[in-house]
Structure 1
């Protein structure tokens, strides 16, 4: 009997050790998921020590009052970090967090630097689109022009033309579209010198490029041409550089519009929002909307603007805020005007 008791004690001790080891492994072993949690909110109508977070120069500015316009963010597991099984389960069970397959958020093979560069590029595009959309909505003159999107490093235009150059003329002929630029280059011969009149830093310059032979013996300048925009005002963004991605476009647009129009768009409301925006003001769906709503509610917002396409993601969500779906920047402006002028939501759409 005594030996049996010793044997049982040994089994109990060994079992406890095994349990502790397994529990420890469970905690530290990574799983192929990432978590999304509510991130910080930023009042884009506010300022830093260097100036307004969104500053518009070269056009009349108007007071924005005591209102707040909150940019919302999501706190995401970094590409170089891991999530344990308990962390993933807790995030999945939390109505204000989410768990997603790692490969969906971070495609295999992308480094931390790759992800960062993509997100920064998306933010740059978001700011550019927001500027164009807001200026257009405010009645400012915005001219669409062909633009140098990129320059081939080994091509003839390298160190001559620059990304962002707006193309006014090709060999003395005015151009209004990407297609016109491409056609005029195609009409020339390999070895010809082509003159590009470009608008760079608000000043016109003539740049001469000797065409080289491309695929199929076609003449090429070694540039990719897209669409850009020319406008007089200058918009400066001073938002934290660690905040990246495309989803702040709608909020940036509203900040610009509110600063250069009157009356005050927001009144005394705390308004939050999210949504990608293109240069025409169309608002596109984004990810992490539930987490952003939670962050905005915690920050005291009473109205939350979101893409109409994201309404399906929040149908079961309980919140004290008014969730206002918008398909365009003009939709968002009209909704805020109705809230501000009438202090009523009767004519303002809502998700659900």
Structure 2
């Protein structure tokens, strides 16, 4: 073997080895691409995917599709070739990893947050749907998290509605915090709560905050909770998390309890967070979700107003409709049933 041949062979081997290393080395990015859709009116394992008990329900027709984004999992890594492929392909995005998964947060913590956001989204969606249908909804300050080893651990649980503190009614999260702050560190605090429709009265002894030893805390996180008569069950894959399906959950509940067939045989998809008052908020991955809806055969896609700048100029056969509230979404779907009114429905252009 000549010197030149030997040099060429060694160079080729080094190139192959370097290419292999580069192709397997993880990069600090994640990929977003079109995910699957879920028809909320399609049964799963013989049971309704959205099940409403304790209220009169009505038949629905058509498809109401929850949309998702396929994202690099928190416990997986993206390689350089995968990142480049996602960058160049349509309906895909590459984002810095710490934008999607904050540094220093464990996989279990990320998953717990996703599950909590999904639970809150479903609760807000039901409240918004019931209100849109004219049914009673009552707001309470609600426990959404309990710190391990805190005074509240074992006494209070996520989902508890706080009715009173020291036998005095509290009507908001601010009221609860103010009532706790009236105590000294170490004082017992009497909570009156509603749990699983039963009233309980646990006593929790406060401790000093880590940030301020003179500040009394009991180790709970709070948010607005909603109480209503019907019991609503969502049978959704545990792999789907986050708050972005709120609008579609609300529409599903509303269509079930409304005598009018809102979807009326059409294939409707959409996305957006929702508050208990029915305000629709923007989300990430809108173009990927539209691509998923298009692949599933949807003819209408409900776009949160905040996401309209993200879809301008997008080429898709799906009709993109702008919505800012649940009531707007309902009115829009009603208008699109009638050719005489469909022309006034606003898109994102």
- TM-score, with normalisation over the residues of structure 1? 0.89
Cα deviation for residue 321 of structure 1 reads 0.5
Structure 1 counterpart of 2:91: 96
Structure 2 Cα separation of the partners of residues 160 and 263 of structure 1: 44
Structure 1 counterpart of 2:23: 27
SS of residue matched to 1:145? strand
Structure 2 Cα separation of the partners of residues 187 and 84 of structure 1: 54
SS of residue matched to 1:263? coil
Cα deviation for residue 122 of structure 1 reads 1.5
Residues 1:119 and 2:111 are matched in the alignment: no
Structure 1 counterpart of 2:82: 87
- Asked whether the equivalents of residues 123 and 226 of structure 2 are also in contact (C-alpha less than 8 Å), the reply is no
Q: Given the superposition, is the C-alpha separation of residues 25 and 264 from structure 1 closer, same or farther in structure 2, using an over 3 Å criterion?
A: same
Structure 2 Cα separation of the partners of residues 106 and 188 of structure 1: 38
Structure 1 Cα separation of the partners of residues 31 and 208 of structure 2: 49
1:253-276 Cα offsets, whole Å, 9 max, x none, are: 110111000211011110011111
Which structure: larger Rg?
A: 1
Structure 2 Cα separation of the partners of residues 115 and 212 of structure 1: 27
SS of residue matched to 1:297? helix
Structure 1 counterpart of 2:228: 231
Structure 1 Cα separation of the partners of residues 147 and 88 of structure 2: 49
- TM-score, with normalisation over the residues of structure 2? 0.89
1:62 to 58, 63, 66: 58
Cα RMSD after superposing both structures: 2.6
Structure 1 counterpart of 2:35: 39
Structure 2 Cα separation of the partners of residues 300 and 247 of structure 1: 20
Cα deviation for residue 238 of structure 1 reads 0.6
Structure 1 Cα separation of the partners of residues 91 and 26 of structure 2: 22
Structure 1 Cα separation of the partners of residues 80 and 145 of structure 2: 43
Structure 1 Cα separation of the partners of residues 181 and 82 of structure 2: 57
Give the number of equivalent residue pairs: 347
Structure 1 Cα separation of the partners of residues 108 and 182 of structure 2: 41
1:302 to 299, 305, 313: 299
Q: Given the superposition, is the C-alpha separation of residues 180 and 246 from structure 1 closer, same or farther in structure 2, using an over 3 Å criterion?
A: closer
Q: Given the superposition, is the C-alpha separation of residues 274 and 225 from structure 1 closer, same or farther in structure 2, using an over 3 Å criterion?
A: closer
1:207 to 188, 202, 205: 202
Q: Given the superposition, is the C-alpha separation of residues 16 and 224 from structure 1 closer, same or farther in structure 2, using an over 3 Å criterion?
A: closer
Cα deviation for residue 153 of structure 1 reads 4.9
Question: Any unmatched runs of 5+ in structure 1?
Answer: none
- Asked whether the equivalents of residues 124 and 226 of structure 2 are also in contact (C-alpha less than 8 Å), the reply is no
Residues 1:290 and 2:287 are matched in the alignment: yes
Q: Which moved more, 1:9-18 or 1:26-35?
A: 9-18
Residues 1:251 and 2:251 are matched in the alignment: no
Structure 2 counterpart of 1:336: 333
Structure 2 Cα separation of the partners of residues 73 and 32 of structure 1: 22
Structure 2 Cα separation of the partners of residues 181 and 107 of structure 1: 30
Structure 1 counterpart of 2:260: 263
Residues 1:76 and 2:78 are matched in the alignment: no
